[in-house]
Amino acid sequence: MNRLIKLSTIVYVILFSGCVAQKKFDDLLAERVKIEADYYEVSDKLDAANAKLERLEEQVSRLDEETAEKSQKINKLETDLAALQKEHDQLETYYNNLLTNSGKLSRDLAEQQERLLELQEGLDTKKKENEALLTDLVEREKKVSELERIIAEKDKAVQMLMVSVKEALLGFSGNELSVEIKNGKVYVSLAEQLLFKSGSYKVDPKGERALIQLAEALKTSPDINILVEGHTDNVPISSKSIKDNWDLSVLRATSITRILIRAGVNPGRITAAGRGEYQPVTSNATADGKQKNRRTEIILSPDLDELFELLKAN
């Protein structure tokens, strides 16, 4: 973040002084490209984390289906076991009756005894299969329960975080900011009129007060990742110190990030990014649409390391 500010300052000097050699300008431009690449890398990692979370939810669903299948198999085995037990009991009764009859039935007795032994072996095999399935089912249910517990805890943490953020920002009107949950994350959308003057990346006093209050809420939830995204409309920027809307969105994001850090938020949890005009929430065809698109979004995500460790262990 500091490198980006320094780079912007140096570019400003270059554009106005006209006294710096072409090589130094090229070096600065390369530094700028590297910073943008770093941002995309961070964005890719966040997308990867979201993809892992989706795979986790799919795995939970598959485990639920497999659990149902195992339960059906157990029910069928128990039915088969009961049928075999009944047949065994019937044959054993018949065998006992034969023992009381004359010796002419010896051959029949031998055959029935052999059949009884076969049935007994079948019963033993079914019992072992049933026990193995029960053991596997118990282990799967434990895994599913643990995954569901962790997901529920994360969802509860997100809900509590949203409540905490809303309470921290109660003094601001609905057209200045909004707080909502999307895709398991808390989105805090701050309108331009709350934070900045048109074309500026210096935070106004009222906006700074809102950010400081937000920081107080964020400090109570240390296990969250914070992404600060700047957004603009599609009107070209008219400034000698700012190249385009993408520059402006990045500078605004870093300005907000500095205020959050000064207010006590862990800098290791924050990523500053600029989206420029390329992710509008509505059409830029009207003045109202442009105003809605000029915003800063602070996206709060739960730490998913515990989930990934559990999946890795399994």
Residue 244 sits in a domain whose CATH number is 3.30.1330.60
Residues 123 and 150 in one domain: yes
Residues 284 and 259 in one domain: yes
Residues 125 and 187 in one domain: no
Report yes or no on 9 lying in a domain: no
Q: What string of pLDDT tens digits covers the 314 residues of the chain? A: 555 455 555 555 555 555 557 888 888 888 888 888 887 887 788 788 778 777 877 777 888 888 888 888 888 888 988 998 888 888 888 877 766 776 766 777 788 888 888 888 888 888 888 888 887 778 777 777 777 777 788 888 889 889 999 998 988 888 899 999 998 899 999 999 999 999 999 999 999 999 999 999 999 888 899 999 999 999 998 888 899 999 999 999 999 999 999 999 999 999 999 999 999 999 999 999 999 999 999 999 987 665 555 566 66
Number of domains in the chain: 2
pTM of the model: 0.56
Give pairs for 203-208: CB < 8 Å, separation 24+: 203/255, 203/256, 203/259, 208/259
Give the CA angle between residues 144, 156, 147 to the nearest 5°.
15
Report yes or no on 207 lying in a domain: yes
Q: What is the pLDDT at residue 5? A: 53
Angle, helices 2-17/245-262, rounded to nearest 10 degrees:
140
Report yes or no on 28 lying in a domain: no
Q: From CA 239, how far away is CA 230, in angstroms rounded?
A: 18
Q: For residue 186, which phi and psi values (nearest 5 degrees)? A: -95, 125
Report yes or no on 38 lying in a domain: no
Residues 70 and 188 in one domain: no
Residues 141 and 169 in one domain: no
CA-based torsion, 138, 143, 148, 150: positive or negative = positive
Q: Which of 156, 190, 219 is the last residue of a domain?
A: 156
Report yes or no on 306 lying in a domain: yes
Quickly count: other Cβ atoms within 10 Å of residue 213's Cβ.
17
Give which of 139, 134, 87, 135 is closest to 115, Cα–Cα: 87
Residues 250 and 182 in one domain: yes
Q: In what helix (H) or strand (E) does residue 167 lie, and over which residues does it extend? A: helix 106-168
Contact 130, 78 (CB under 8 A): yes
Residues 288 and 226 in one domain: yes
Q: Which of 113, 136, 156 is the last residue of a domain?
A: 156
| 3-state secondary structure (DSSP) of residue 174 | coil
Residues 221 and 303 in one domain: yes
Q: For residue 174, which phi and psi values (nearest 5 degrees)? A: -65, -25
- Residue span of the structural domain in which 285 resides: 161-313
Q: What is the pLDDT at residue 299? A: 96
Residues 165 and 264 in one domain: yes
Q: What is the pLDDT at residue 222? A: 80
Residues 125 and 238 in one domain: no
Report yes or no on 31 lying in a domain: no
Query: What length is written for the chain?
Result: 314
Contact 70, 133 (CB under 8 A): yes
Residues 196 and 276 in one domain: yes
